[in-house]
Chain A
Amino acid sequence: GDSVTQMEGPVTLSEEAFLTINCTYTATGYPSLFWYVQYPGEGLQLLLKATKADDKGSNKGFEATYRKETTSFHLEKGSVQVSDSAVYFCALILNAGNMLTFGGGTRLMVKP
């Protein structure tokens, strides 16, 4: 079946450090890929998405590129802030599918 694997956290960084959170996937079809962010006590917020190979999703300084050859969608940010501290989820949905498949989440902690 379809699955998403993320690097385990927590990831602890100092403010202004470079962030990478790895995400790889397996899918029976051709998926769209997403990164969601969850702040403490809240639901999920869509951070960025990519719907086809080589697409780059970007939002709020975060970027991720859909790499079909490596089945990856790694999240990056050049300079993190304390306010970026949250749990990040990588997810996929098959085209014409009806369910999101999530990874286990990666907690990011940014220290001043």
Chain B
Amino acid sequence: DAGVTQSPTHLIKTRGQHVTLRCSPISGHKSVSWYQQVLGQGPQFIFQYYEKEERGRGNFPDRFSARQFPNYSSELNVNALLLGDSALYLCASNLGGSYGYTFGSGTRLTVV
């Protein structure tokens, strides 16, 4: 069975640009969460979506947005990129509730 898949694995963007990151959850998982992991730090919660509705949002600016599609896949969008947005972006899925989060391998975003 496929795990959580994220694309692309790496990308480089210029300050001010926009980026879209994609995540496909494990089959049957209806919840998708996004985390930002800056180098040398622990992951920070950005969003959670369950059944296409936003269920939680972390302390991130409005430049960050996300959505979940009917097939439960998800996109994370970041507008007006800053150098400080350079990080590993992790997607995690679970059936719902508080347990059993499975993480993808992440998308490494570098903003130059």
* A interface residues with partner B (beta carbon < 8 Å): 4, 32, 36, 42-46, 49, 51, 89, 91, 93-105
Contact = CB atoms under 8 A, between A and B. Distances in A.
A95 B90 CA distance: 22
Given A95-B98, A99-B56, A105-B40, 10 more contacts: A32-B98, A42-B105, A43-B105, A98-B48, A99-B33, A99-B58, A100-B33, A100-B35, A101-B45, A103-B42
A44 B98 contact: no
Residue picked from B45, B50, B101, B104, most chain A C-beta under 10 Å: B101
B55 interface: yes
B98 A94 contact: yes
B106 A43 contact: yes
A96 B98 contact: yes
Interface in B73-112: 90, 92, 97-99, 101-106
Given A98-B56, A99-B56, A99-B58, A45 B45 contact: no
A45 B4 CA distance: 11
Contacts of B48: 98-99
Contacts of A102: 42-44
B61 to A, nearest CB: 17
A100 B58 CA distance: 11
